[in-house]
Amino acid sequence: MQALFLEDIIQPLAAILAGGIIGAEREYRSKSAGLRTITLICVGATIFTMLSIRIGIGNPDRIASNIVTGIGFLGAGVIFKEENRVSGLTTAAIIWSSAAIGMAIGSAHYLLAALGVFIIVGVMRIFLWLQVKIDTIHQSRNYRIACRFDKTTLEHYEKIFRRFQLEMERGKQSVKDGIIIGEWELQGREKDHALCVDYLLKDTDIIEIVF
């Protein structure tokens, strides 16, 4: 029977603490991979790394090297494509990073793991604030407008986009049952987007608008 050493207890507990800190931030923001998920990923990576070092005689990275591959599949499961938008990339990156923290703990690199936790939480908090600031200056949105068919109708809305200083890239356009549908990717300040949307919502000729 294998003896249990003090470090055998310290490492999983350290993984619980590290995963809990990262997971708590995700749980606070109601993300799909929250407190329990991130903690379990960190603990699992830690134990796998410990086992890899102990039973991988002559090749101690035998098990640990496959953690990255396995976590890749888990991370891919939280990435979704919704119309023209991809979501879940940040959550997948957090899962991948949490596994790296667990591997650092499992190989007894505690300072590196602590630094990693500090950086991950710092990036999620500080960079979120920075991202919000950037979005107020420059924001990209996809617009979709449906209205009764008229040859100049969509050009009319493109003039409105320019009036609100929004850079425009025309996308797919289609006509069905007398209804013309246009899609655009618009870039500009958050304030200009809000003013443009407010103007379009008052347009009685628009049957449907998605923004």
Report residue 155's pLDDT band, with 50, 70 and 90 as the boundaries: confident
Report the predicted TM-score, pTM, of the whole model to 2 decimal places.
Answer: 0.71
Tokens of 66: 């496959």
What lies within 8 Å, CB to CB, of 192 at 6+ separation is: 164, 165, 166
- Positive or negative torsion for Cα 131, 135, 138, 140: positive
Residue among 43, 160, 24 at smallest CA distance from 103: 43
Residue 142's pLDDT band (boundaries 50, 70, 90)?
A: very high
**Structure confidence at residue 194 as a pLDDT band (50, 70, 90):** very high
**CA separation for the pair 72, 42 (Å, rounded):** 14
How far is the C-alpha of 103 from the C-alpha of 48, rounded, in Å?
8
Q: How confident is the model at residue 160 (pLDDT cuts 50, 70, 90)?
A: very high
Query: Could you read off the pLDDT of 77-136 as tens digits, one per residue?
Result: 777 766 656 677 888 899 999 999 999 999 999 999 999 999 999 998 888 888 888 878
Place of tokens 């888990």: 74
**Within the chain, what is the greatest distance between any pair of CA atoms?**
82
